[in-house]
Amino acid sequence: MKLATVAWKNKVFIGVVEEKRVLPLNDAEEKYTGRRPYPEDLIKCIEQEGFMNKVESLMHWAEEHYDSTNLYIPMEKVKFLAPIPRPRKNIFCVGKNYEEHAIEMGSKADIPEHVMIFTKAPTTVIGHMENIMEHKQVTEQLDYEGELAVIIGKKGKGIKKEKALDYIFGYTILNDITARDLQKKHKQFFIGKSLDTTAPIGPWIVTKDSIPNPNELNITTKVNGEIRQQSNTKHFIFPIEEVISVLSKGMTLEPGDIIATGTPAGVGKGFNPPRFLKAGDSIEISVEGIGTLINQVAAEE
């Protein structure tokens, strides 16, 4: 199932996406039961007890009454916001989680022995088809990183690897836009990773039941239609279960937490000469079983 945060006719709501149409949850539930029980905030929905069971029941009803309800909205009429437009805390990001990417950013000596984590500020988040700011006044080396992202579904601490997937709500796509020169200048990742608009996420969250094995998904990044990154999550150095287990050792993971799982080789900095982003560039990231996230770099006025 695909769940999205959608804007339409000056309203923002949570909807289910299927067959190029969107079903607003509360509008449909009101027809079904006379109630509007769903928060218009996907984190609050994830936290709500029995949320997915209620949605599944609603979807069965909607499929049977499609002709009479007339509640579905064509996808092309809505705007997809980031599924979680404002995370409650920083986005967790795994660095150098593909060997070839670690090598292109340095050498074999840069392949990590332990999970490497940095974070991006909540203010970085934008949605599908929203513009990435060029930030020309602070960086000349804006780069792309296509990634699979994990959405945590329940609270947990000290999570064992064999139980880790049970704590996942679903999966989405994240573009870890990075200012490479700021990353180098400040000797750490946070500033170079946290400029406004540098975490496009979406277009939706695919619930975990739809993706049996997240550690075996094709991932492709195109810039202006040219394939730059092409790999499979089976090449993770640290699989998702290990990442969750490591993060939760002494740290509580909570519903709505976002974990970006790392990017494959093929980033702009890895080319000789480097191929950084500029105004007008379009980035498309596709992940098997999820869809395609599209954003364009825009010059600032």
Classify strands 125-126 and 199-207 as parallel, antiparallel or unpaired.
parallel
What is the Cα–Cα distance from 241 to 239, expressed in whole angstroms? 6
Specify the domain boundaries for CATH 3.90.850.10 within the chain: 91-298
Give mean pLDDT in consecutive 10-residue pieces for the chain, a chain of 301 residues. Answer: 97 95 95 94 96 95 76 95 98 96 87 96 98 97 98 98 98 98 93 98 98 97 98 98 98 98 97 97 98 96 67
pLDDT at 105: 86
pLDDT at 67: 65
Cα-based distances in Å from 166 to 1, 94, 162, 207: 17, 20, 9, 12
What is the Cα–Cα distance from 128 to 201, expressed in whole angstroms? 7
| 91-298: CATH topology | Fumarylacetoacetate hydrolase; domain 2 (3.90.850)
pLDDT at 69: 67
User: Which phi and psi angles does 45 have, rounded to 5°?
Assistant: -65, -45
